[in-house]
Amino acid sequence: MKKTLFLAAAAAATLLAAGCSSDEPAAASADSLTVSSAWAKAAESGMTGAFAELENTGDTDIHIVSAASPSSARTEIHEMAAGDGGAMVMREKADGLVIPAHSTHSLAPGNDHLMLMDLVEPVLPGTEVTFELTFEDGSTTEFTAQVRDFSGAQENYQPSAGAGANHGG
């Protein structure tokens, strides 16, 4: 009896929420995303990672479909996953990142992160790297990440290359 009541109440709340959002124009994803504590790992050349706290302050999920930076010819969204041999490796997250409504997603070493794939110049400690995130609704947001020396974030990028291939910089 109690369970039924609870479910009914939850369903009503969902309907109310849906009703609200359909009355107003949906906020652009860019307006609901707050980026903080952004930083990037120093590197002379090649690839390097960037990390941040991404907070979705809005009522709807945010879908980040791509990332770009003037510091790199190509920038990818990466995830950590178990490779063929069972070891954790990083690989491109083909579908981008989804940040549920009212939640914070950490881009962190050993977890999802942004990858500057092909640095156009060295990124040195204390300098700033600019990023642009593009959302599914076409809106974009920019942020800067302060660079520092960091020994971690050395994930094996190519699972097929075996345990020795550290590309983290």
Partner 1 sequence: MAELSRRRLLGGGAAVLGAAGIGAAGVGTGLGYAATREPEPTGGRTVAFHGVHQAGIDTDPQAFAAFVALDLRPGLDRRALVGIMKVWAEDGRRLAGGSPALGDTEPELALDPARLTVTVGFGPAVFDAAGLEAQRPEWLRPLPAFSIDRLEERWSGGDLLLQVCADDPVTVSHATRTLAKSVRSLATVRWIQRGFRNAVGTKPTGTTMRNLMGQVDGTVNPAAGSTDFDRQVWNPGAPAWLAGGTSLVLRRIRMELDTWDELDRPARELAVGRDLAAGAPLTGSREHDDPDFAATDVHGIPVIPPESHVARARPRNANEQFLRRGYNYDDPDGAGLLFAAYQADVDAQFVPVQQRLAEHDALNPWITPVGSAVFAVPPGFGPGGYPGDTLFEG
Summarize as ranges the residues that interact with partner 1 (CB under 8 A): 37-39, 41-42, 51, 109, 124-127, 146-152
Which lies closer to partner 1 via its Cβ, residue 46 or residue 138? 46
Q: Are 96 and 66 in contact (CB under 8 A)?
A: yes
Q: Are 48 and 123 in contact (CB under 8 A)?
A: yes
CB of 41 to partner 1, least distance (A): 8
- Cβ contacts of 167 within 8 Å, gap of 6 or more: 46, 47, 154, 155, 156, 157, 158
CB of 86 to partner 1, least distance (A): 25
Task: Give me the residues paired with residue 49 across strands.
Answer: 115
Which lies closer to partner 1 via its Cβ, residue 29 or residue 155? 155
CB of 120 to partner 1, least distance (A): 17
CB of 131 to partner 1, least distance (A): 15
Q: CA-CA distance, 113 to 116, in Å (whole number)?
A: 10
Angle at CA 83, nearest 5°, toward 77 and 87?
Answer: 110
